[in-house]
Amino acid sequence: MQKIITDEKKIDQLLERGVENVFPDKEALKKKLMSGERIRLYCGYDPTANSLHIGNAITINKLSQFQELGHEVIFLVGDFTCMIGDPTDKLATRKKMTREDVLENAKDYQLQASGYLAFDGENPAKVMYNSEWNDKLTFKELIELSSNFTVQQMIQRDMFQNRLKEEKPIHLHEFLYPLTQGYDSVAMDVDLEVGGNDQMFNMLAGRTLQKAVNDKEKFVLTLKLLADDNGKKMGKSEGNAVFLNQSPEDMYGKVMSWEDGVIVRALELCTKISISEIEEITEALKDDKNNPRDQKMRLAFELVKINCGEKEAQRAQEHFVRTIQKGEAPEDVIEIQLAVGIKLLQVLVDEKMAESGGDAKRKIKQGGVKLDDIVVNNLQKEIAAEDNGRILKVGKRDFRKILVK
RNA sequence: GGGUCGGUGGCAGAGUGGUCAAAUGCACCUGACUGUAAAUCAGGCGGCGAAAGCCUACGGGAGUUCAAAUCUCUCCCGGCCCA
């Protein structure tokens, strides 16, 4: 029997940290958690891309906090729902994926989530796939489920309103998305669903269905989104998304490119640093004498540490200091064997340091290509014997060591 | 089913016979600056080519024309109105 922790302070913190909203209300959920009853909760992840991103880490992190208190956590892979495509992000049309693609992605998802969430040990998180029950749903059952909602409820959502206003299509199956996601709650008979605040509607659909079908009160806990002080979201479209399958170096660098305003929010949502420590960092950021860069480096370090381990985080930090702050070649610079006479343009393309010949040319013209810190401006430059051992640098962070054959 | 409007680069969105490899914004790349791969500023951003230039591209196909993203036909997809 799993031991349930009912420490009030811990529960308060659990319901406070990063939480935007609790339905029906926070007090009711607190009471439930205080009762010592082991609850079953979940969050779903649609494997549409080959990697989870830092936004997903927010909910995974919250799941892990419930796990630490002894509750039953389900990491749900939305292998069925991802076929429909969540209309929440408005760019609804998603390309069809094969079953194999989905499962391949999903396999990595668990690995990526494992920095936050334990899938083994005493109270392991369970991985489930929602095709398990959704595949079996009959048309008749679907119609019955859909009778719990009205068209008015569906089109109320602002992204649908926007599309109506913009005269953009709304496909019928998009109304079914909240339904199928909601049905997950019924099928798994959960007590609580965790999700980003943008998932509120879908999660509440599950609350409605769980009430209607199982006559059970399902709690919904929504989390703040990762955004800066001005409410600007971090995400793929903003170009500052961090993917959990990125190399430690890339992850570290990406975080360093975030705006300063997001530091505290990210610490709260995506790391396991204690609240008191976050408060200290918040204070430090207020003091003009301190350089916000240092707090951001702390954040970057923590994020890489959780996802890739402490050693990797250390390495990534050193790599950043060396290559970005000092502009030096990394210690483990990739070596390339080149024949005398090969065109530098060709090398850039072959090494994927440029996307095409045109791109390579542009980079040289704009002074972005250096050999041992000397700008190359000869488009026709060919590799010569004296280039042996030289460091080829393209842009700020792409290095190769040339070995002449 | 009828009418009508529309489908443009990674995305959003101009253009409506030659000056269009296609405005602008986002994303991206390079440089300057900076604590930063932030912000800002400057430049760039289909492919091949040293260049001139050539090739491919505006939903698919066919056509008109010296010339088509732009006109015509047809097919596919969508919005709106009517039924």
Element (H, E) at A66: helix A54-68
Contact A81, A26 (CB under 8 A): no
Comparing A66-75, A91-100, A138-147, A244-253, the range with the smallest average pLDDT is A91-100
Q: What is the pLDDT of residues A307-331, one digit of tens each?
A: 999 999 999 999 999 888 888 888 8
Contact A348, A399 (CB under 8 A): no
Predicted local distance difference test score (pLDDT) of residue A89? 52
User: What domains sit in chain A, N to C, each tagged with a CATH number?
Assistant: 8-223 (3.40.50.620), 248-325 (1.10.240.10), 334-404 (3.10.290.10)
Give the number of residues written for chain A: 405
Q: Is the pLDDT of residue A97 over 80?
A: no
As a whole-number percent, the residues of chain A with pLDDT over 70 amount to 92
Q: pLDDT band for position A85 (50/70/90)?
A: low
Q: What is the pLDDT of residues A11-66, one digit of tens each?
A: 999 999 999 999 899 999 999 999 999 999 999 998 877 788 888 999 999 999 99
Predicted local distance difference test score (pLDDT) of residue A290? 79
Comparing A82-91, A222-231, A243-252, the range with the smallest average pLDDT is A82-91
Q: DSSP states of A243-258 as a string?
A: BTTS-HHHHHHHHHTS
* Chain A residues 332-391 within 7 Å (CB) of strand B: 345, 349, 355-359, 361-363, 366-368, 379-380
Contact A200, A143 (CB under 8 A): no
Angle at A118 between CA A45 and CA A109, to 5 degrees: 30
Q: pLDDT band for position A93 (50/70/90)?
A: very low
Predicted local distance difference test score (pLDDT) of residue A184? 95
Distance A126 CA to B40 C1' (A): 48
Q: pLDDT band for position A92 (50/70/90)?
A: very low
For A125-139, what is the mean pLDDT?
A: 92
Q: Which of A376, A235, A247, A399 is nearest to A324 (CA)?
A: A399
Q: Is the pLDDT of residue A344 over 90?
A: yes
Q: pLDDT band for position A229 (50/70/90)?
A: low
Strand B: list positions under 7 Å from protein Cβ. Answer: 11-13, 26-32, 35-39, 43-51, 78-80
pTM exceeding the 0.90 threshold for the entire prediction = no
For A77-95, what is the mean pLDDT?
A: 66
Angle at A391 between CA A389 and CA A397, to 5 degrees: 155
Q: pLDDT band for position A292 (50/70/90)?
A: confident
Pairing of strands A19-23, A192-196: unpaired
Q: Is the pLDDT of residue A238 over 60?
A: no
Q: Which of A187, A244, A198 is nearest to A42 (CA)?
A: A187
Instruction: Tell me if residue A336 falls in helix, strand or coil.
Output: strand
Q: pLDDT band for position A240 (50/70/90)?
A: low
* Chain A residues 263-292 within 7 Å (CB) of strand B: 291-292
Comparing A24-33, A108-117, A241-250, the range with the smallest average pLDDT is A241-250
Nucleotide closest to residue A293 (CA–C1'): B35
Distance A169 CA to B78 C1' (A): 7
Q: Is the pLDDT of residue A157 over 50?
A: yes
Predicted local distance difference test score (pLDDT) of residue A96? 55
Cβ neighbour number for residue A17 with a 10 Å cutoff: 17
Predicted local distance difference test score (pLDDT) of residue A305? 94
